[in-house]
Chains A and B, each alone.
Chain A
């Protein structure tokens, strides 16, 4: 496996572009970067992460659960306060919003761990630790 290491993002992107232009298929290229480099992902045509579906499912669950919890508890112990209706939407919005954020965030974390197969004790230390460098690995042609 060939390895190209760069301290500079622009040089890294230029080399990546050059490799792709020279006919190296994107599936044989792996990159390691210290920060997200969207241009590189775009060049390699990396498919969009399915993480957003975890977030959306969690957020939707939180939203529904927030309303379900507040409506159920109000109806099971009805208390009329200041002449307001027993089931009043405005204050329940806050609980629904908070649970949307909470479950959305938790689902994102779970999704992140699941998609990255973490925690992985055997791989906790990467022998190819690259620090702040931008690295391109190219698999040799078989």
Chain B
């Protein structure tokens, strides 16, 4: 019954996204993808580095992996300006094929890794490496094709890295939420919070590096990325909000040693980080996508409902941690 409900919600999500011509789907789908890929990513990275703290939350995080199979069906065109001036790389058929293909490979490897990890198979390290490599390729495509291509011919090689770091942020925020629900007092909360602290710093550094490069070079096609958005109503506020929620707040709060052990603090912080991701994506889409509230609510409900349905059965399950 639960599986049928999950499949129905996923089908509804696919239908909604395919019917939505406004491009609104990008916001919930990108956030849902950050959470889903981030959940598996954190486990894969932790297991590869022999981090034993991940064990207590491994099952609920890996429970998100089947949802990866939905993303290839959520690939669709948004109102991209390049549709009027197609290039050999930016053309609809190739766009859909390469993105769906990359996400399908990511889903396959992610689920093979999930099975190997849950059964403690010796092959789990091999699949973890495979997942990380595929993640880099798929996420680069998603960041560059789905979002950055709005601003073509502006190109930034730092942009996909920012999206990858945000997946880590999303995965770690999810650990914070899981720990809060379970009232888990093991090292996992402290270690995840410490990692979040590190990734907040990394995100801040990357964002500043991108801003400084564009500011210094002062090239019209690059400056356009900021001036266009800052000129719109809410553009500056969304940028400042993302910087505050993804860097300033986590960095300042997690600097305090005791805050990293407190469920309630991490619970609030996890929400703020997720809101920061919403701000960041809204800032990117602002000039090109007219966000429709009805589509946004329906697609968000289906996206996060599917994620919750995936994780919920495994929420109480735990492996032995350290």
Contact = CB atoms under 8 A, between A and B. Distances in A.
Interface of A: 82-84, 90-91, 93-94
A91 B216 contact: yes
3 interchain residue pairs of minimum CB distance: A90-B215, A90-B212, A82-B218
B247 to A, nearest CB: 13
Interface string B184-212: 00000000000000000000000010011
A91 B218 contact: no
Nearest to A83: B218
A94 B208 CA distance: 10
Contacts of B215: 90
Interface in B5-57: none
Nearest to B257: A48
Contacts of A83: 218
A137 B63 CA distance: 50
Contacts of B208: 90, 93
Nearest to B212: A90
Contacts of A84: 218
A90 B211 contact: yes
Contacts of A94: 212
Given A90-B211, A90-B216, A93-B208, 10 more contacts: A82-B218, A83-B218, A84-B218, A90-B208, A90-B212, A90-B215, A91-B212, A91-B216, A93-B212, A94-B212
Nearest to A93: B208
Interface string B202-237: 000000100110011010000000000000000000
A135 to B, nearest CB: 25
Contacts of A90: 208, 211-212, 215-216
A83 B211 CA distance: 17
B215 to A, nearest CB: 5
Contacts of A91: 212, 216
Nearest to B208: A93
Nearest to A94: B212
B259 to A, nearest CB: 15
A94 B205 CA distance: 10
Nearest to B216: A91
Contacts of B218: 82-84
A45 to B, nearest CB: 16
Most buried by B among A83, A84, A90: A90
Contacts of B216: 90-91
A94 B216 CA distance: 13
A82 B214 CA distance: 13
Contacts of A82: 218
Nearest to A48: B257
A90 B208 CA distance: 8
Nearest to B217: A82
13 contacts: A82-B218, A83-B218, A84-B218, A90-B208, A90-B211, A90-B212, A90-B215, A90-B216, A91-B212, A91-B216, A93-B208, A93-B212, A94-B212
A91 B212 CA distance: 7
B11 to A, nearest CB: 48
A84 B216 CA distance: 9
A137 B216 CA distance: 61
Nearest to B211: A90
Nearest to B205: A97
A48 B211 CA distance: 39
A24 to B, nearest CB: 28
B213 to A, nearest CB: 10
A105 B215 CA distance: 30
A39 B212 CA distance: 44
A84 B217 CA distance: 11
